[in-house]
Amino acid sequence: MSALNRSISLNKTTSFNRRTIGIGSPKGNNHNRFGCVSLRFQVLVITCSVISFFVAVGGGYMYVLPSLSLTFFHSQVGLFSDHNNNGSEGKCDVYDGSWVQVQQGYPLYNATECPFVEQGFDCLGNGRSDRDYLSWRWKPKSCEIPRFDVRGVLEMLRSKRVVFVGDSMSRTQWESLICMLMAGVEDKRSVYEVNNNQITKKIRFLGVRFSAFNFTIEFFRSVFLVQQGGMPKHAPKRVKSTLLLDQLDDISDQWIDSDILIFNTGHWWVPSKLFDMGCYFQVGRSLKLGMSIPAAFRVALKTWASWVEREINKNRTRIFFRTFEPSHWSDLTRRICNVTQYPTLETNGREQSLFSDTVLEVVKNVTVPINVLHVTSMSAFRSDAHVGNWSDNLSIQDCSHWCLPGVPDMWNEIILSQLFTEYEIPSLQMDHSD
């Protein structure tokens, strides 16, 4: 019986004894003496029980409180949907939310002043007059994404290697992160491209070094992630090249020794980039002329997943895979691009992507922890944030790529916030105000 139950039981007994024995009742002295002794004994027992009760409660309080505090802390910082090897998710789905307009602190940088932004992504510099698209921030329903703390991030990345691998959307995110961080660097000359290369869409490797903090942010152009091959012998004339679905890109050995590794693919997995160009699929020596693009994409991702499990040191490298982000073309010919002034209220089905679903499914079976940046739905609302007519080529509209500053900054904020949580950097200033 617990101390609390014993106390209640004894109180009931005391009340009963007072009614039946009674102090000062018209009985003999023996009865009075017995009542007096009994009462004193009961008071002593009750006192001891009460003391025992508070000692027990106090001990439990001291034992439980730290656990409760730790649980509360983790519920506050567990902001992210982490699809790991057992398919479980964090307590808050950071991708379930909406875009809210903020009054201060944005944009995080001036693209015109950042030498690592391609001219084609600098929409303001290319003549866009409205600035409303710069003042939106993603707000999850059940948690907060900490505001970007450039000084804290620079310290967190000290002596690390950050690697982006993917297509031009990956390169845009790479440019975004560099410019976000340059805003906190006093000597801009201490940030430079390691090979003195200009930022172009065709180069396969770009690396920017932050010499004052001894880290690099690199980009490897690998639009399919798997290796591209030539025309196989005895192939039909329509076959000009192949994708070797069972072999990762031939530059993949350069991605291995990294601390943060961020992948994406999807925008080149379309007929116009494959079949229309005479590119078909191959597994081993077998040419797969009848294989569909979704089926080939799945095989390629499984090849990537096997490479991750075989080559990546999970004790060092934190892996992210960003899902497909939708475009906002007004027609199937991808010739009409109507950029809106504000985010749309409806996604019109753009929140769904077979590529994204495949990524989520494949990652669930990977034994190495991988965080899926599931940006498909959140990006589907941002029809206002594309390059549109404000590129470096006014004759070509663009409803696929994003203006910088813009949506890719928010993807980077999510990544950096999670890394802060994992690395337990104490200097992060949490600011949830709008």
Quote the domain boundaries for residue 8. 3-72
| pLDDT score recorded for residue 421 | 74
Among candidate residues 32, 52, 72, the one where a domain is terminated:
72
One domain, residues 8 and 90:
no
User: For 63-120, how does the pLDDT look when each residue is reduced to its tens digit (9 = 90+)?
Assistant: 333 333 222 223 333 344 444 443 344 468 899 999 999 988 999 999 999 999 999 9
The pLDDT score that the predictor gives to residue 44 is 53
Predicted local confidence at residue 128, as pLDDT: 96
Which DSSP string corresponds to 94-153?
TTSEEEEE-SSS-SSS-GGG-TTS-GGG-TTTTT----GGGGEEEEESSS-PPPP-HHHH
Residues 102 and 68 in one domain: no
Same domain, residue pair 159 and 181: yes
Residue 431 pLDDT > 80, yes or no?
A: no
- Are residues 169 and 295 part of one domain? yes
pLDDT value at residue 2:
39
pLDDT average, residue stretch 28-39 = 44
The answer to whether position 429 is within a domain reads no
Residue 392 lies in a domain: yes
Residue 384 within any structural domain of the chain: yes
Residue 10 lies in a domain: yes
* Total domains in the fold of the chain: 2
Residue 305 has pLDDT above 70, yes or no: yes
Domain final residue pick, 72, 102, 129? 72
Lowest mean pLDDT among 42-46, 184-188, 407-411, 412-416: 42-46
Predicted confidence band of residue 330 (pLDDT cuts 50, 70, 90):
confident
Do 129 and 17 fall into the same domain?
A: no
76-80, 132-136, 335-339, 358-362: least confident range: 76-80
Residue 191 DSSP symbol? E
pLDDT of residue 51: 54
Asked if residue 91 and residue 130 are part of one domain, the reply reads: yes
Residue 14: which pLDDT band, with cuts at 50, 70 and 90?
Answer: very low
- Name which residue leads in pLDDT, 104 or 16: 104
Flag whether 410 is in a domain: yes
Asked which of 72, 89, 119 is the last residue of a domain, the reply is: 72
Mean pLDDT along residues 376-396 = 94
In a domain? residue 432? no
pLDDT in tens, 146-182: 999 999 999 999 999 999 999 999 999 999 999 999 9
- pLDDT for res 48: 53
Write the Ramachandran bin of 235: left for phi over 0, alpha for psi from -120 to 50, otherwise beta.
Answer: beta
What mean pLDDT is predicted for residues 275-291? 96
Q: Are residues 212 and 97 in the same domain?
A: yes
Q: Is the pLDDT of residue 32 over 90?
A: no
pLDDT at 200: 87
The answer on 354 and 213 residing in a single domain is yes
More confident residue, 56 or 186: 186
Is residue 319 predicted with pLDDT exceeding 60? yes
* pLDDT of 41 strictly over 60: no
Q: Both 67 and 196 in a single domain?
A: no
CA distance 49 to 63: 21
Same domain as 371, residue 328: yes
Tell me the average pLDDT of the chain: 82
- Whether residue 433 is contained in a domain is answered as no
Instruction: Tell me whether residue 434 is in a domain.
Output: no
Asked if the model's pLDDT at residue 247 lies above 90, the reply is: yes
Tokens of 126: 């290319």
Same domain membership, residue 253 and residue 159? yes
Exposure string for 325-350, b = 16+ CB within 10 A, e = fewer:
bbbbbeeeeeeebebeeebeeebeeb
Same domain, 193 and 151: yes
pTM of the model: 0.78
> Which pLDDT score is estimated for 66?
35
Residue 433 pLDDT more than 60? no
Q: Show the tokens assigned to 409.
A: 């900054």
Question: What's the pLDDT score for residue 8?
Answer: 33
